Structure 1
Amino acid sequence: MLIYNVFGRHIGVQRKNERWLVFRADLTERKFSRLYDIAIPDDMTEGEIAGWLGDIFHEAATERHPNVERIE
């Protein structure tokens, strides 16, 4: 599971059967809930995911959380 800090929110991304799956991540309890309304193109590389998440969630950016960063 790839974990990103997306403007202060933890999002997990996992590759399964040639597809990218997206999850809400609770890192304290290591629980992940699938998010079905967010899609990552199947042909996207791992290196492109942070930029894609930034494009999707850009309205959530704040001075305190201005970036998308992979944390795991």
Structure 2
Amino acid sequence: MAKFDVFGTTMIAIQHQDQWQLSIDSGLGLRRPVKDVVLPPSLDENELAQYLGDIYHEWATDRHPHIVKLS
């Protein structure tokens, strides 16, 4: 599991059966699956931040200019 702050939105990527499943984390224990983005199964966890940045770059703001990997 990899957790990211994607320009102010917390997203979680879980690898299941060699496929990445992306969801938005509500912060309250609820996750909403992201169905309109497919993460290539060949990506490793270290490449996810760059890929998410390429997809969601329009979400960037002065307050949230980067993607941050969360622990």
Does TM-score exceed 0.5, indicating one fold?
yes
User: How do residues 1-72 of structure 1 correspond to structure 2 at under 5 angstroms?
Assistant: 1-27=1-27, 29-72=28-71
Q: Percent identity over the alignment?
A: 30
**Offset from partner CA, 1:6-45 (integer Å, 9 cap, x none):** 0001111000000000001112x12111111011100001
Q: CA deviation at 1:3?
A: 1.2
CA distance in 1, matches of 2:59, 2:69: 17
How many residue pairs get matched? 71
Runs of 4+ aligned structure 1 residues displaced above 2 Å come to none
**Unaligned runs of at least 5 residues, structure 1:** none
The CA RMSD measured in Å over matched residues stands at: 0.8
Letter in 2 for 1:37: D
**Unaligned runs of at least 5 residues, structure 2:** none
With normalisation by structure 2, the TM-score equals 0.94
